[in-house]
Structure formats: structure tokens, C-alpha cells
Amino acid sequence: MSSTTKPYEEKMQASLDYLSRELGAVRAGRANPAVLDKVAVDYYGSPTPVNQIAAVAVAEARILTITPWDRQMLRPIVKAIQASDIGINPIDDGQTIRLVFPAPTEERRRQLTKDVQKLGEDAKVAVRNIRREAMDKFKAMKKAGELTEDDQKKLEKETQELTDKFVKKADDICAAKNKEIMEL
């Protein structure tokens, strides 16, 4: 790819990175530490992510364990999880917090796949908007005499190939997440 299309490729990659982070937080019935990414605990006056004040591990396929490095943080972590929207009630045994992920119902799985598809569509729209931005820039450069028509066509072709590549990646990421959700 040319240096002219490089910034657009980076923006498209950032869109896919965002999609991956968002899909990581989708609870699919399997224990996934990413569901705690948006849970912040009041740690000596500042909101701190759980994974910075405790060891988070997948004990079994449906059980996540949280072991705080400071045992006094057990209660605040439990309260933060209960206040969050992850919908799992933490079990505190005095040393470790366990989160047991229930298997989602068929209806819930279908809703989750719809949510995943929507996130995927949003990512593809973002990639296409970046393509449009690139195309507009190339037209402006041609108009200003910075590009020949052949160079403009070549850059537009490269940008379209990038767009197709990133749209396919977004579809692949969503398909993998949907497969994970629909597994029993």
C-alpha cells in the first residue's frame, strides 16, 4: 500500500480494534475477563479497573475468579460488580470472588447475535466512512493538481481493496463471536 493510503488503513484497523474490544464485553455464557473491563472500583479515591487491583482468572468454562491483592478491596469489588450492568451476582468467600456465568437461554442467544451483528454493521459503516473520506481527499488532491488522474484512480483502487479487506475482517470477527454465542 502507498504512503498516501497508510493513514486510512490505520483508521480502518482502529475501527476493527474497537469492534473486538466491544465484542469482548458481550457476555456469551462463557467466563471472559473482558466483561470486567468497564467495571471500576473506588480504590483510595480514584476509580480503578478491577484487573489493576486483583488477579482475574478463568477457573472453569463458566467461572471467573477475582483475587484482590489487598483483601480489604473484596467488599468494594463486590459492590462495583453488583452496581455494574453485567448481570452476574458475585460470590464472596472471604478471599476470592467468584462469578458464575449462567448458560444463556435460546432467546437471549438470539438477542446477543443481533447485538453482535449491529456492532459489526457499525464497524463496517465506520470503515466505509473512512473510504469516503479518502476518496474525497484524492479528488481534492487531483483538483489541486497534486495528483494525476492515473494516480487518483490507483489510490482509489487501493482504498477500495483496503475497504473490502477490512469489511471482510469485521464479518469474520462477528461470525466467530456468533459461533461462540450459539455453542451450548
Domain ranges of the chain: 6-24+105-182, 33-100
User: 57 versus 184: which is more confidently predicted?
Assistant: 57
Nearest to 137 by CA among 34, 15, 30, 11: 11
Nearest to 62 by CA among 98, 24, 36, 101: 101
For position 168, what pLDDT does the model report? 95
Question: Which CATH fold topology does 6-24+105-182 show?
Answer: Topoisomerase I; Chain A, domain 4 (1.10.132)
- Going by pLDDT thresholds of 50, 70 and 90, the confidence category of residue 27 is low
Instruction: Supply the DSSP string of 121-162, one letter for each residue.
Output: HHHHHHHHHHHHHHHHHHHHHHHTTSS-HHHHHHHHHHHHHH
pTM: 0.70
Class of domain 33-100: alpha beta
Asked if 37 and 25 touch (Cβ cutoff 8 Å), the reply is yes
pLDDT in tens, 58-97: 888 788 899 999 888 888 898 888 888 777 888 888 889 8
Element (H, E) at 60: strand 54-60
